[in-house]
Amino acid sequence: MLRKKACAVTLSLALSCQFLIAPMANAGSVDDAISNITKDPSYSKVVDQLNVDSKVVEDFVRDVVNSIDKDKLNDDSHIKEVVTGKFLTNEALKEAVVSLPASEYADAKNAVKELGNTLRNELLKDPAVPGVAGGGAVGSEEFKIQTSGSRAIVDSNSKAYIYLNGLQIKEVKDARKSLEMRFGDVKLAFSTEALNIGSVMGEEKAEFKVRVKQLASSEMNNLMSGAKNGGVYKVAGYIYNITSEAVDKSSNTEALSSFSGSITVSLPVPSEYRNSASTGTLKVYTYNEKTKNWDLVGGVFNSSANVMNFDTKHFSQYALLEQVTATETIPQAKPAAPVLKEFKDIEGHWAASDILYMASQGYVNGVEADKFHPQDLVTRAEFATMLVNVLGLQGQGEVVFKDVNKGAWYYPSVALACKAGLAKGKGADTFAPGAPITRQEMAAMLVNAMSYKGMAVQADTAVLAAFADQAQVADWAKPSAAAAYAAQIIKGKPGQKGLCFGPTDNTTRAEAVVMLKNFLLTKK
């Protein structure tokens, strides 16, 4: 019976793929077609009916198309042979088919047929773009850039991807404009620094490719159920998988997981979640592949555009999540609403934009209602509190330090910081909460936070040779100082003899905010 099922569905796939392959000589590229097909309801229907990851279906279609002999496009027996062969070697699809209850078999078969018609219609749509069978390049489609003030704007035109060549990237960068990519309601705004893509820059035959994939319902369910803290949240709208790659002039492809500058991402907030966004209970999270957790990113809600904005230096899977279950073992977002703030004493300050961003996120507060005091020194207790806010830690902890009183405003944060392994005392029973924090102490706490978040920590102390005062870094602090510098969380400061780390220098509130923001933007 199972063999009959497999053969029957294979036949359905074969019939569908006849529609897929027949027009390939004149069709758009495989990437073009599949990108649009994944948005079609018939695609999600097949994924849901077979209960498989959509990547399995997408890879199967690609595998078939790439294995067809372009000289035998009209040879039905050849097409069926390839389709059947690829199906029988695809363990995930075979397992999905044989696991189907008899009552669901007919629906699955019909879903596959619908997908076949979608494939056929899509590939017949645009004969102007060279396809794989016709020998054209996948990225040969041109996306036009429009300028508007300080922005260069490119629209995906309802596609899930945008390709730009190296000359286009160079022109935007040389004009010192930000590059805004629009994928329907999702927008990515690349800073000038983020456009430093060495293998692509200035090369007409090189390409920068960006994709924004909206996950199917079954994919979202699988991701949330597989996450350690997935049961704590519900998804508002969709989960977006944002990826990018560079293809140099020799057609060598490199996945780009991080950038040298920040990228502002705007995600649409569904109407039923806008109140949650305005009160701060809806936040942006990113999925951490290493820890299998959803990590807090934050985000600032723009109520006029109904979008959540956040900055990042790397692409990943992002979602707007709202907490539905309380837990003390999982880092949670603080309920403070992200509200745009203004401080009278930071106008013209070098860190003004970072201070406003972090304050609007609720990560840091002003000393007064309308003053931030950017040049005030940060104490150890204050920085522990800032770091706990950035990580979104909640729950309770205990401290053994005699100088940290339970009634002190900073007690809960210092307790949580110590519990998470972020902070240590100045001695066995002393924390020195009111002492100004030094740059090397701050580096140690930030690198501890990196480890807590499951980030990669590079601690080769040889990188400290970049600093004229490297000999002044305490032995215990050298691994942390090196890791913080390698991650570009701490970037050094000018000194009389050149770039300095300033290990024993105290830190201002402005400097602390910038380092914390750098930490947030660091690749997880």
Which residue has better confidence, 508 or 291?
Answer: 508
- pLDDT reported for residue 105: 65
pLDDT-derived band at 158 (thresholds 50, 70, 90) equals: confident
Q: What is the mean pLDDT of residues 59-83?
A: 63
With 80 as the cut, is the pLDDT of residue 232 above it? yes
With 50 as the cut, is the pLDDT of residue 207 above it? yes
91-98 vs 54-67: helix crossing angle, rounded to 10 = 120
Which residue has better confidence, 97 or 1?
Answer: 97
The sign of the CA dihedral 353, 294, 390, 360 is positive
Least confident of 185-194, 199-208, 432-441: 199-208
Please classify residue 428 by burial: count the beta carbons closer than 10 Å to its beta carbon, then call 0-12 exposed, 13-18 middle and 19+ buried: exposed
pLDDT-derived band at 13 (thresholds 50, 70, 90) equals: low
Beta strands in 215-278 (DSSP E): 233-247, 253-255, 258-268
Give the pLDDT confidence of 318-339 residue by residue, as tens digits.
999 987 754 433 333 343 444 5
Asked if 152 and 146 touch (Cβ cutoff 8 Å), the reply is yes
Least confident of 140-144, 217-221, 515-519: 140-144
Distance (Å, whole) CA 412 – CA 399: 9
**Which CATH number applies to 146-323?**
2.60.220.30
Break the chain into its structural domains and give their ranges. Answer: 4-124, 146-323, 351-521
Q: What is the mean pLDDT of residues 411-433?
A: 90
- pLDDT reported for residue 78: 62
With 70 as the cut, is the pLDDT of residue 120 above it? no
- pLDDT reported for residue 454: 78
Structure tokens at 161: 């991807």
Phi/psi-derived region of residue 2, left when phi > 0, alpha when psi is between -120 and 50, beta in every other case: alpha
With 80 as the cut, is the pLDDT of residue 494 above it? yes
How much is the pTM?
Answer: 0.48
Distance (Å, whole) CA 289 – CA 100: 30
- pLDDT reported for residue 253: 84
Asked if 170 and 208 touch (Cβ cutoff 8 Å), the reply is no
Q: What is the mean pLDDT of residues 197-201?
A: 76
- pLDDT reported for residue 88: 65
Give the pLDDT confidence of 361-410 residue by residue, as tens digits.
778 888 887 889 999 999 999 999 999 988 888 878 888 899 998 888 88
Q: Give the residue among 494, 513, 512 at the shortest CA–CA distance from 502.
A: 494
% of the chain at pLDDT higher than 90: 27
What DSSP string describes 96-127?
Answer: HHHTS-HHHHHHHHHHHHHHHHHHHHHHHH-T
- pLDDT reported for residue 187: 96
Which residue has better confidence, 33 or 469?
Answer: 469
- pLDDT reported for residue 125: 46
Strand partners, 267: 308
Q: What is the mean pLDDT of residues 260-266?
A: 89
Q: What is the mean pLDDT of residues 48-58?
A: 72
Is 353 in a helix, a strand, or coil? helix
- pLDDT reported for residue 210: 93
Q: What is the mean pLDDT of residues 468-487?
A: 92
With 70 as the cut, is the pLDDT of residue 284 above it? yes
- pLDDT reported for residue 395: 79
Which residue has better confidence, 3 or 57?
Answer: 57
